[in-house]
Amino acid sequence: MSHFFLLCVLLVSMVLPSGACLAEAQGEEPSVVFSEIGFGGGYVAGELRASGEDFHVIPFYLRAGYDISRLVGLSGESSSLQLSFDPFVNYIDARDSGVEAGLTVFFRYFVPVSRGLQLFAEVGSGPMYLSVETDEQGEAGFNFLSQFGLGGRTMLSRRVAFDLSYRYRHLSHGGLRDSPNLGLDTFGLFGGLSLLF
pLDDT tens, residue by residue, 48-90: 988 899 999 999 999 999 999 999 999 878 899 999 999 999 9
pLDDT tens, residue by residue, 11-29: 445 444 444 454 445 667 8
d(CA 99, CA 115): 39
**pLDDT of 7 strictly over 70:** no
d(CA 195, CA 155): 10
Return all residues near 118 (Cβ < 8 A) that are at least 6 apart: 110, 111, 112, 152, 153
pLDDT tens, residue by residue, 115-155: 999 999 999 999 999 999 988 888 999 999 999 999 999 99
Domains and CATH numbers, the chain: 2-17+34-196 (2.40.160.20)
**pLDDT of 197 strictly over 90:** yes
CB 134 within 8 A of CB 98: no
The pLDDT value given to residue 8: 47
The pLDDT value given to residue 42: 98
- Report the amino acid identity of residue 90: N
d(CA 5, CA 139): 23
DSSP-assigned letters across all residues of 27-81? TSPEEEEEEEEEEEEEEEEEE-TTT--EEEEE-EEEEEEEE-TGGGT--SSS-EE
Return all residues near 11 (Cβ < 8 A) that are at least 6 apart: 85, 87, 103
pLDDT tens, residue by residue, 161-182: 999 999 999 999 988 888 888 8
The pLDDT value given to residue 43: 98
More confident residue, 14 or 34: 34
Pairing of strands 54-58, 117-130: unpaired
Return all residues near 162 (Cβ < 8 A) that are at least 6 apart: 153, 154, 156, 191, 192, 193, 194
More confident residue, 78 or 43: 43
